[in-house]
Amino acid sequence: MTKPKIAVIGGGIAGLACAHRLIELQKENQSNFEVHLFENSSRLGGTIATEVKDGFVLEQGPDSFLSEKPWGVQLSKRLGIESEIIGTRNEYRKSFVVRKGKLHELPEGFYLIAPTRIRPFLSSPLFSLQGKMRMAAEFLLPKKNSTGDESIGSFIRRRFGREALDRVGQAMLAGIYSGDPDRLSLGATMPRFRELERNYGSVIRGLFVEAKKKKELSKASGPRYSLFLSFRNGMETLVQKLAQVIPHESIHLNSGLTKIDYDRSTNRWRLSAASSHGKEFDFVCLALPAFQAARLFSSEYRDLSEKLSEMVYESVATVNLVFKRSEVQHPLNGFGFVVPAIEKSPLVACSFSSVKFDHRAPKDFVLLRAFVGGAFGRNFFAMNDHDLIEVVIAELKQLLQIQREPTMTLLSRYASSMAQYQVGHRELVSEIKAKAKETPGLFLTGSSYQGAGIPDCIFDAEKQAEEIHQLACRSNQMVGSEW
| Binding residues vs ligand FAD (CB under 6 A) | 9-15, 38-41, 46-48, 61-65, 256-257, 287-289, 292, 316, 318, 414, 417-418, 446-447, 452-454, 457
Least distance from ligand FAD to the Cβ atom of residue 22, Å? 15
Identify whether the C-beta of residue 237 lies closer than 8 Å to the C-beta of residue 52. Answer: no
Least distance from ligand FAD to the Cβ atom of residue 375, Å? 14
Coil vs helix vs strand at 363:
coil
Other Cβ atoms within 10 Å of 465 Cβ, number: 25
Task: Return the number of the residue (160 or 371) whose C-beta is nearest ligand FAD.
Answer: 371
Least distance from ligand FAD to the Cβ atom of residue 474, Å? 27
Task: Return the number of the residue (287 or 366) whose C-beta is nearest ligand FAD.
Answer: 287
| Cβ partners under 8 Å of residue 137, min gap 6 | 161
Task: Return the number of the residue (189 or 447) whose C-beta is nearest ligand FAD.
Answer: 447
Identify whether the C-beta of residue 170 lies closer than 8 Å to the C-beta of residue 113. Answer: no
Other Cβ atoms within 10 Å of 92 Cβ, number: 16
Least distance from ligand FAD to the Cβ atom of residue 102, Å? 26
| Cβ partners under 8 Å of residue 405, min gap 6 | 393
Task: Return the number of the residue (99 or 241) whose C-beta is nearest ligand FAD.
Answer: 241
Least distance from ligand FAD to the Cβ atom of residue 45, Å? 7
| Cβ partners under 8 Å of residue 367, min gap 6 | 56, 57, 58, 320, 321, 322, 353, 354, 360, 361
| Cβ partners under 8 Å of residue 477, min gap 6 | none
Task: Return the number of the residue (168 or 238) whose C-beta is nearest ligand FAD.
Answer: 238
Least distance from ligand FAD to the Cβ atom of residue 328, Å? 23
Least distance from ligand FAD to the Cβ atom of residue 459, Å? 12
DSSP3 helix / strand / coil % (the chain, rounded to 5): 45, 25, 35
Task: Return the number of the residue (207 or 348) whose C-beta is nearest ligand FAD.
Answer: 348
DSSP category for residue 185 = B
Q: Where is 416: in which H helix or E strand?
A: strand 408-420
Task: Return the number of the residue (46 or 115) whose C-beta is nearest ligand FAD.
Answer: 46
